[in-house]
Amino acid sequence: TGCDGFELNFGCPHGMSERGMGAAMGQVPEYTCMVTEWVKEVSNLPVIVKLTPNVTHIVPPGRAAQKGGADAVSLINTINSVMGVDIDTMIPYPNVNGMAAHGGYCGTAVKPIALNMVSELARDAEFNIPISGIGGINTWGDAVEFLLLGAANVQVCTAVMHYGYRIVEDMIDGLNNYLDEKAFASVNDIVGKSVERVTDWGNLDLNYDVKARVNNEHCIRCNLCYVACEDGAHQSFEFREVDGKRYPIVIEEECVGCNLCALVCPSPGAISMIRVDEGGEPQSWRERQNINPQ
């Protein structure tokens, strides 16, 4: 047929998986390896294995694809999900003659999950084939994030469905401008540059301290920061009157730098997370455990 290669769909969570295909293949590393080998035995064309995110750990199926001879992997496919329920009819969506089934969740919301799984494979010492990054890519900036975390290229579907193919032209322009601004000669120069910055939680510096700071010039006094911190975090806000107006301020000794206030704040620049140097030496959880094993 003249095709340039194959992408094996070991990721689709609905329709195919019920028939022993799609995610049913990608969730069992032995099947992933076996079927990839079958394809490589009968074709010299490049083979990409598309992995499912509906697993506990992405590295075993990634390694299995590599063991089977895959030339690359792509991830992530969509995530098992139920869209919702019509609370009047009490029938879940999509309503198919009064019944429903789970589908595949995609779009902007899955990007953090995709970035994590791409970086997990990129960090694995035994995994060394290219990664095609997929999941929630809407802008050139999204694409850059995937590239920095180890993807050799990216794929876009949902955003094209929403905005059309012209969005790809905008992504290319934005990516080229970014490369020029950062003085990179090629997109290949940024692939994986952030991977070494990803580690396990137990290796992070426990003595790295940040505190929230409120900029009254940008504060609109909506008090969302106070409500969020009071009800969902560490009760680190109080109010102070400045020039006859009531502003939230941070009680620094109570603030743990969780960033919740900055996340809920609707006014850009109103809340910043500022590094506070307490003078302590860097120390990870593992190091602390070694000092105090009990």
Query: Two tokens at 286?
Result: 């593992």
Domain with residues 202-276, CATH architecture: 2-Layer Sandwich (3.30)
- For the stretch 24-45, pLDDT in tens is 888 999 999 999 999 999 999 9
Mean pLDDT of 109-134: 97
On whether the pTM is more than 0.85, the answer is: yes
Kindly state the DSSP code that residue 282 receives in the 8-state scheme: P
Is residue 178 a contact partner of residue 255, using CB atoms and an 8 Å limit?
no
- For the stretch 46-82, pLDDT in tens is 999 999 999 999 999 999 999 999 999 999 999 999 9
| CATH superfamily to which 6-197 belongs | Aldolase class I (3.20.20.70)
Is 12 annotated as catalytic? yes
Mean pLDDT of 280-294: 83
Is residue 175 a contact partner of residue 207, using CB atoms and an 8 Å limit?
no
Residue boundaries of the structural domains of the chain: 6-197, 202-276
**Between the CA of residue 169 and those of 154, 165, 180, 183, what are the distances in Å?**
14, 8, 17, 21
Is residue 249 a contact partner of residue 241, using CB atoms and an 8 Å limit?
no
Q: What one-letter code names the amino acid at 92?
A: P
Q: 12, 106, 229, 265: which one is catalytic?
A: 12
User: Please, what sign has the CA dihedral across residues 5, 9, 15, 21?
Assistant: positive
| Those residues with Cβ within 8 angstroms of residue 212's Cβ, 6 or more apart along the chain or in another chain | 225, 236, 250, 255, 257, 259, 261, 262, 271, 272, 273, 274
